[in-house]
Amino acid sequence: MSSGSALTELLWAEKYRPRSLQEMVNQEDIVKRLQVFVKERNMPHLLFAGPPGTGKTTAAHALAHDLYGEDYRLYMLELNASDERGIDVIRTKVKEFARSKLPAKAPFKLILLDEADNMTADAQQALRRLMEMYVDVTRFVLIANYPSKIIEPIQSRCAVFRFASLKREDVVARLKWICQREGVTCDDGGLESIYEVSGGDMRRAINVLQAAAALGEVSVSNVYKVVGLATPAEVRALLKTALFEGDFLKSRDALRKLMVTYGLSGVDIVKQLHREVFSSEVAIPEDMRVEIADYLGEIQYRLVEGADDEIQLSALLAKLVLLGRPLRQQPQPPKPVKR
């Protein structure tokens, strides 16, 4: 499966990331407008909004690349707000860079704030002031999954670009192209199923593709094998233990394992649980699915607000143990009556 005799390999999501706007094959309208900015060497602050894996980060880097050339990172500060989201970062790192002198020949510097919707509200307020004060030398590109989580004053200072989910045929075509470049055997079923498991998220699709290819070939069975192996079985176990066995302590142990051993954050676990709750493979009464989802939402809100992962998720488990009580009292799977 190697491309020739290469001794080293990269993650394909990096290897096949378009470097310039020209290489981008999706989001054509957006790309065209961005290319105008490059031509005019001027642009407003930008807000890229849309679901994960639709090319927001790629477009931002490609834009910078086309503006400044190969060494574009010299003219750009990139921060991932999920990792550095506090007001301190805005006041120090961002401010320092925003007010620094403009390099020769560059029309302005760029500050790229990825996952900006994870910034705290006060950090956003601080950011808004910087956007005004240094607009003559610095432009901001904010990237967010949920633009509504960006405060209104910032939104109104940005040109908003909405990235749409990628279409099935676009994702499949790109995956096929990568397979050809890599010399990997793939079939359409395999590629389609990658789209199924990743939605329109191109990064996830390419990551799954690479893992499936590492198993030998990109087939339907390999794709599902990869996804199965990569999803910790503990999430479902945790749900089932609490709901159907009513064993709180055992389910809490599973929770701890997920957090400490797999390193999943509370929000990750809530999101995966949400998927499981509506999975046809877990036999939960329909109305209860909704009730659990409601509670999951409450827990996620508290976690985002800064509450403790383990305590909040334990409260969820206690709720599940209680909700499951009527399920445990009747014979578990309704067995066919023998006559």
- Residue from 91, 149, 157, 204 in contact with other proteins (CB under 8 A): 204
**Dihedral sign, CA of 249, 255, 260, 261?**
positive
- Residue from 131, 205, 252, 273 in contact with other proteins (CB under 8 A): 252
Q: Count other C-beta atoms under 10 Å from residue 311's C-beta.
A: 10
User: In a 3-state reduction of DSSP, which class is residue 64?
Assistant: helix
Residue with tokens 């990792």: 83
Stretch that binds other proteins, among 24-32, 72-80, 125-133, 134-142 (CB under 8 A): 72-80
Touching other proteins, residues 51-70 (CB under 8 A): 52, 57, 61, 65, 70
Site map 95..114 versus other proteins, x via CB under 8 A: -------------------x
310 in contact with other proteins (CB under 8 A): yes
User: In a 3-state reduction of DSSP, which class is residue 107?
Assistant: coil
Closer Cβ to other proteins, 40 or 66, answer by number = 66
Closer Cβ to other proteins, 22 or 132, answer by number = 22
CA distance 115 to 140: 13
| Nearest approach, Cβ of residue 98 and other proteins (Å) | 15
CA distance 47 to 142: 5
- Residue from 169, 249, 329, 333 in contact with other proteins (CB under 8 A): 249
Site map 159..198 versus other proteins, x via CB under 8 A: ----------------------------------------
Backbone φ and ψ of 77, nearest 5°: -105, 125
- Residue from 18, 19, 165, 168 in contact with other proteins (CB under 8 A): 19
Closer Cβ to other proteins, 82 or 180, answer by number = 82
214 in contact with other proteins (CB under 8 A): yes
115 in contact with other proteins (CB under 8 A): yes
29 in contact with other proteins (CB under 8 A): no
- Per the CB < 8 A criterion, the answer to whether 273 and 240 are in contact is no
Residue type at position 166:
L
92 in contact with other proteins (CB under 8 A): no
> At CB < 8 A and 24+ separation, what contacts does 8-12 make?
11/207, 11/210, 12/178, 12/182, 12/206, 12/207, 12/209, 12/210
Instruction: Let me know how long the chain is.
Output: 339
Q: How many residues bind other proteins (CB under 8 A)?
A: 72
